[in-house]
Amino acid sequence: MIALGIETSCDDTAASIIEENGKILSNVLSSQEVFHKDFGGIVPEIASRKHSELIGYTIVEALKLSGKTMSSVDLISVTKGPGLVGSLLIGIEAAKALSFALHKPLIGVNHLEGHIYSLFLDCSPLSRVSDPFPLLVLIVSGGHTELVLMRSHLTYQVIGETRDDAAGEAVDKFARFLGFGYPGGPIVEKLGSNGNSNAYKFPGLSFKDSSPYEFSFSGLKTAGVYFIEKNPDAVRENIQDVTASFENALINILVERTLKAAHDFNVRGVGVVGGVSANERLRKTLNAKSDLPVYFPAKILSTDNASMIAFAGLMHFKRGEKDDLMLDAHSRLGL
C-alpha cells in the first residue's frame, strides 16, 4: 500500500508519500516561517492563506520526489485536528477533493497521534523493537505537553498534561521577549549550545507534588520574561549562559516528570515526540538519566511533518476504519 499524508494544522504546509511499512518515499514541507517571524508567533489568517497557495505545489512535489503518481496512491490521510481551524480546513478540503475525484479512501488523523507515530516510521529505532509496550510517550510541542501511556498500538491513556502553557509556548515567549523571531526553540538552543546552563537560576515546577505527572510552565515563562526585563546587562553580555540556563530549567521539568511516570508505570521504554523533542540538550539529558531505552524520531520528524500523518492514517485504515466527505476540522481534538 502507498499512502499520501497531508498536514496543515499550524504554519507548515506538508505532504508525504510513504509505503505500508512506514518507509518514507518523500517528505515535503513548505515552511511559512518567514511570513510569521516578525509577528513573534503564528498569525492564523496568514497561515490559512499561505496553505491555500502552497498546498497544490506541496502535494505535486511529494508525488514527484517519490516517483509515484496519484493513481498508485491507496489512501489519503489528512490531519483533522487539533490545530487552527482555518489551516486544518485547507488540508482537509484538498484531501477530500482528491478522494472524491480519484475514488481514493480518505482518513482523518489526530495530529497528536501523528506525532506519536513518528516514532514508528521505518527510519526510527523503535520500529525495530518487536514488543515496545507498555510505552510511555512524552508529547512536547508548541501547543501540547502530555504524558501518554500506550499498552498497544492505537491505544492511549493520557496520564498527565500541562496545567497551563506548553513547553514550546514558554520557550517561544522567552525568545520573543529577547527580540528573536518565531519559533523560539531552535534559536534558544543554538544560542545556548555553548553556554553555562547553571549560570542563572530559573524556577522548576511551582506547585506541590499532588499531581506527579502534571506539568506547569507558566511560572518558568513569567520568570524568563521578568529576568529579561530586570537584567539587561546579562542579556547583552551573557546571552549564551542566559539561554542555556533557561533551556536547562525547562528540560529538567520535562525529564523529572517523564522519568517518574516511566518508573511508576513500569514501562519498557520512553518515546519523546513533537517539536521540542528535536532539542539536543533534552535528548542528551534524558538519555543520560534514564535507565530505560529512550526513543526519539529523526530530528526532521520531531517537528510537524506529513509522513507521521500518513503512517497514523495507514494504521487506522488497516483496521478497517475510514472517513467520508463529511470529514471536518476539530480545533480542540484530544487523543
Q: What are phi and psi of 94, to 5 degrees?
A: -65, -45
Find all residues with CB under 8 Å of 7, minimum gap 6, and list them: 13, 14, 15, 16, 78, 79, 91, 111, 114, 304, 305, 306, 308, 309
Q: Which residues pair with 139 in a beta bridge?
A: 146, 273
Of the candidate spans 66-74, 129-137, 156-164, 180-188, the one that interacts with ligand KG4 by CB under 6 A turns out to be 180-188
Site membership for Zn ion, residue 8 (CB under 5 A): no
Q: Which is nearer to ligand KG4, 22 or 184 (CB)?
A: 184
Instruction: State which of residues 81, 192, 275, 313 lies at the interface with ligand KG4 (CB under 6 A).
Output: 275
Instruction: State which of residues 5, 224, 274, 297 lies at the interface with ligand KG4 (CB under 6 A).
Output: 274
Per-residue contact flags (x/-) with ligand KG4 for residues 220 to 259, judged by CB under 6 A: ----------------------------------------
Binders of Zn ion in range 295-334 (CB under 5 A):
304
Site membership for ligand KG4, residue 307 (CB under 6 A): no
CA dihedral (16, 279, 11, 331) positive or negative: positive
Q: Could you tell me where the beta strands, DSSP code E, fall in 229-291? A: 269-273
CB count in 10 Å sphere of residue 66? 22
Instruction: State which of residues 58, 87, 258, 303 lies at the interface with ligand KG4 (CB under 6 A).
Output: 303
Which pairing describes strands 24-31 and 294-295: parallel, antiparallel, or unpaired?
A: unpaired
Instruction: State which of residues 16, 58, 141, 302 lies at the interface with Zn ion (CB under 5 A).
Output: 141
Q: Of ligand KG4, Zn ion, none, which one sits near residue 5, judging by CB under 5 to 8 A according to partner kind?
A: none
Q: How far apart are the C-alpha atoms of 103 and 98, rounded to whole Å?
A: 8
Per-residue contact flags (x/-) with ligand KG4 for residues 112 to 151, judged by CB under 6 A: -----------------------------xxx--------
CB 112, min distance to Zn ion, A:
8
Residue with cell 544560542: 191
Site membership for Zn ion, residue 145 (CB under 5 A): no
Q: How far apart are the C-alpha atoms of 139 and 13, rounded to whole Å?
A: 21
Find all residues with CB under 8 Å of 170, minimum gap 6, and list them: 217, 218, 220, 221, 224, 250
The residues that touch ligand KG4, with contacts defined as CB under 6 A, are 10, 141-143, 168, 171-172, 183-186, 189, 274-276, 278-279, 303-304
